[in-house]
Chain A
Amino acid sequence: MSKRHVSAVVNGDPVEFLCTPEQTLLDVLRDDLDLTGSKECCSSGDCGACSVILDGRLVCSCLVLSAEAEGKRIETIEGMAKGEELHPLQRRFLEHAALQCGICTPGILIAAKALLEREPDPSETEVRFWLAGNLCRCTGYDKIVRAVLDTAAEMRRS
């Protein structure tokens, strides 16, 4: 099987990789680029644990073929904190105990970040519908939604 050469930018860094036609972006992130923060929990676009931002758009990386990443900018959970400083969402999730097992957390943080970038003042209902593609089996979502709303308020203030 011939492999295809792909160049992309991941979390601001240029990357190059070879991929087979059936490999997903999630496969490449996890297996080739050692970015295991994006999680694979269904491989069918139903759980959101593999969420990344692709050229500004929130996607399930398990549904994106890696070859489609050519020339694109990809943001993953590993790029969310800026150096020492956590993204306000990351900080609020910790303060609110918005994670239990934490397997859904990277995907939810990325999805919430994408939401706040387009809507700095979401209502509770908007948060709930935006995050409806991200399953969490542990928390009942209460603390997650609160953490997102609190972050939005904090980011609006600053």
Chain B
Amino acid sequence: MNDIPLAGTAPKAELKWVGTRGPRPDGLDKVTGRARYGADFRLPGMLVGRVLRSPHAHARIRGIDISKAAALPGVKAIVTRDDFRDMPSEFVPAGEMMVNYRDIVRNVMAREKALYEGHPVAAVAATSASIAREALSLIKVDYEVLPHVIDAAEAMRADAPLLDETMITAGVDPAPTKPSNVAKRMEFSTGDLKAGFAQADFVIERSFATKPVHQGYLEPHACLASVNEAGQAELWCTTQGHFVVRTHCAKLLDMEMSQIRVIATEIGGGFGGKTVVYLEPLALALSSKSKRPVKMVMTREEVFLSTGPTSGAHMKVKIGVRKDGKITAAEAELIYEAGAFQGSPVGPGCMCAFAPYEIENARVIGYDVISNRPKVAAYRAPGAPISEYAVECVIDELAQKLGLDPVEFRLKNGAKAGTRALYGPKFGPIGLVATLEAAKNHPHYSAPLGPNQGRGVASGFWFNIGGESCASLHINEDGSVTLMIGTPDIGGSRASMALMAAETLGIDVAHVRTLIADTDSIGYTFLTGGSRATFATGMATVDAAKAAIRQLCARAAKIWEISEDAVVWEDGHAKPAGQNAATFPPMSLAELAGKAGKTGGPISGHAEINAQGAGPSFGTHIVDVEVDKETGRVDIKRYTVIQDAGKAVHPGYVEGQFQGGAAQGVGWALNEEYVYGADGKLQNAGFLDYRMPVTSDLPMIDTVIVEIPNPAHPFGVRGVGETPIVPPMAAIANAISRAIGTRLCELPMSPPKVLKAMQAHKANGG
């Protein structure tokens, strides 16, 4: 295929739409209450579905008696483990993680054992919510309560209760002979660690601990399923990837994919947490049994109890430096909690830990450990914020030890184009140094600090991914454009796609409408996650627009009776390639669209791609805190996020990603944690006790968008959604340590812990 010369698609050319801050296509419906989210759909004859959940952290399920519940008038269907076939152990990719259907089916519905408080054991569909609730109370589950283990360090002990008696640690040679709760050991290394540490003038080694934190999306999981007598299903659900939902449901329910149409509703936040299935297979199974539509919506308590937070962790980090500030060696050990089933993000945690730095000798060892908690799910840059928090704290301490400015210290060791990352690849053009330079020169960095205040800095890295995306772009008869894509819009991506389509076509963005197509209306598209939507679906969108332009040019050639390659596309018009080609007045997209019927039929462009070359995104955050000496309360006084976006397609929404990530990081750093009782039950399954930052907890969050174009993307785009949550925890920890003169190595840094650290410091003569 000839590449058609297009005005306005090279990163350097003047851009008319990409980089502007226009309104988003779905905005109006979202400020008027019209937009329909997961819980906003209904169908005639709809039943209400509810889930019975295990009250125990760990229990063998000896039997389930549904007879009384089934006899209750108004109950139309009940499903238990008996309604789901067992699945072989098989790893397949889902988002940035691998999933195992043996585990997914067990997480959706407990089988041999209930493995955490809130683990589903049965589901009911009834004509009303109150009947469904009553039915749940009539189901008798015979539990044999077993000893439980919550914390990963305890779960690793030889005498710990075993969750899965068949689990043999992978990645250890020779394989252990006894089962344990350690699912996997992994190691990444380069150079000669011993020699590296021998060259060091200073070595700092610290242990860190973090707690599981929840993505905290405001919209609870919700879906509506309708299965007819022929087994054809429709499923409306709030998800980051309706194609992935289809894949999982088809697999779990043994249905053909063509029989399931999944419609992605508007989504009220996900941050990685809506990349898995919970209610969807249950609703389909209940609907298929009752032959009635079934709607299921989780309560907030269910969201906390049963859906994935990210891992809590125990970590050791050791870094050696020379007096001149060069890092000579680095080592880390990371233990991540996976929850009830294996698959914590410890892999990406290992790969990201030292990624911002050029280190010759390094080793990271990771352990994936199961315990009696809900299975973790992806949360924004899964795994990276945890390990990079620990590393960035040690980096800061080393800078203090050397008497170097923390930004200068990072600049001395920072990764640049050509640096080989510990996990393998050599970086292309990357923006770490640019974000550090911007931090150094930002007025925030040199502003004076008040009493009891401290300033912290940290950098962060995330890979970003590409992957499979489709786009269909229809040129309507009146010259307007309908763009169909398959990545749910979680934060304004429809606007970005419209901007990229308008830029490529050379028309006003007001004439482009972007829709999220259902699974029957467009080809397989991987989920919105890994910061891939604007990158990968953006590439598909540009390709689809180019395909449409090729047709538009061909139609003009036909009208002008000249050859196709004598026509170029410029500024929304077909033009003869030059004086030699012919002299016709340019024809606009709208004119060509109006004549489409007579020149060969409808005009559309399609693209089905597997996008490669996602550019990593680096960021650097600066934060000022003030610590209350009486209470240990930490106040965020000022916050600046600096990050490489490659190219910001819609700067308003890029800034929004930066600010939102920073705010989530503030919660992770200061307040948020899962609190368990000795009984293995979650004690804070609600927004009152699981305290996410509110408006009055935060200042304005300043942003600087750095643009180091990603060469693989037509406009230079890098994903931006995940990196912003990587630096905050360390930046805040570093700021606190500079404010109080001693360092906390545990998250969250809640007031009692800060107070204790200050008191201990004082007792030690600090």
Contacts and interface: CB of A to CB of B under 8 A. Distances in A.
Interface in B684-708: 686-688, 692, 694-698, 700-701
A106 B32 CA distance: 7
B267 A101 contact: yes
Contact of A44 (B216, B650, B687, B694): B687
B660 A139 contact: yes
- Complex A-B, nearest 9 residue pairs according to Cβ-Cβ distance, in ascending order: A37-B33, A103-B268, A97-B652, A140-B663, A140-B659, A102-B30, A77-B33, A46-B687, A100-B491
Interface of B: 21, 23-24, 26-28, 30-37, 39-40, 130, 215-220, 266-271, 297, 299-300, 490-492, 650, 652-653, 655-657, 659-664, 686-688, 692, 694-698, 700-701
A99 B660 contact: no
Contacts of B686: 42, 44, 46
A144 B688 contact: no
Nearest to B219: A103
B300 A42 contact: yes
Q: Which one of A36, A134, A138 has the highest number of Cβ atoms from chain B below 10 Å of its Cβ?
A: A138
Interface string A3-40: 00000000000000000100000000010000111111
What bracket does the count of chain A residues touching chain B fall in?
Answer: 35 or more
Contacts of B37: 39, 103
A96 interface: yes
B343 to A, nearest CB: 24
Contacts of B216: 137
A153 interface: no
Given A97-B21, A142-B700, 13 more contacts: A36-B39, A39-B219, A41-B300, A43-B299, A47-B300, A49-B218, A97-B652, A103-B219, A132-B694, A138-B656, A140-B656, A142-B701, A143-B659
A61 interface: no
B213 to A, nearest CB: 12
Contacts, number: 179
A143 B453 CA distance: 26
Nearest to A110: B33
17 contacts: A36-B39, A41-B300, A78-B34, A97-B21, A99-B31, A100-B269, A100-B660, A101-B491, A102-B31, A103-B219, A104-B268, A132-B695, A132-B696, A132-B697, A136-B218, A138-B491, A144-B695
Contacts of B700: 124, 142, 145-146
A11 to B, nearest CB: 10
Interface centre among A49, A97, A102 (most CB of B within 10 A): A102
A97 B33 contact: no
B219 A109 contact: no
Contacts of B661: 140
Given A37-B32, A145-B700, A139 B659 contact: yes
A42 B687 contact: yes
Contacts of A124: 700
State the main secondary structure of chain B at its contact with A: loop
Given A42-B300, A101-B490, A132-B696, A137 B31 contact: no
Contacts of B40: 30, 36
Contact of A90 (B24, B31, B664, B688): B31
Contacts of B220: 40-41
B31 A138 contact: no
A60 to B, nearest CB: 12
A94 B21 CA distance: 10
A101 B268 contact: yes
B509 to A, nearest CB: 15
Contacts of A101: 217-219, 266-270, 490-491
Contacts of B268: 39, 41, 101-104
A131 interface: yes
A105 B239 CA distance: 19
Interface in A74-114: 76-78, 80-81, 86, 90, 93-97, 99-106, 109
Contact of B33 (A78, A96, A104, A132): A78
Contacts of A38: 33
B687 A135 contact: yes
Contacts of A146: 700
Contacts of A44: 300, 686-688
B695 A138 contact: no
A81 to B, nearest CB: 6
Given A103-B218, A103-B268, A137-B271, A76 B659 contact: no
Given A37-B32, A86-B31, A140-B663, A102 B266 contact: yes
A123 B556 CA distance: 59
Contacts of B491: 100-101, 138
A129 B697 CA distance: 9
A146 B655 CA distance: 13
B490 A100 contact: yes
Nearest to B650: A97
A135 B652 contact: no
Contact of B31 (A39, A94, A140, A141): A94
Contacts of A53: none
A140 B269 CA distance: 13
Nearest to B35: A102
Contact of A36 (B21, B33, B650): B33
Given A44-B686, A101-B267, A129-B696, A141 B33 contact: no
Q: Which of A43, A137, A146 has the most CB of B within 10 A?
A: A137
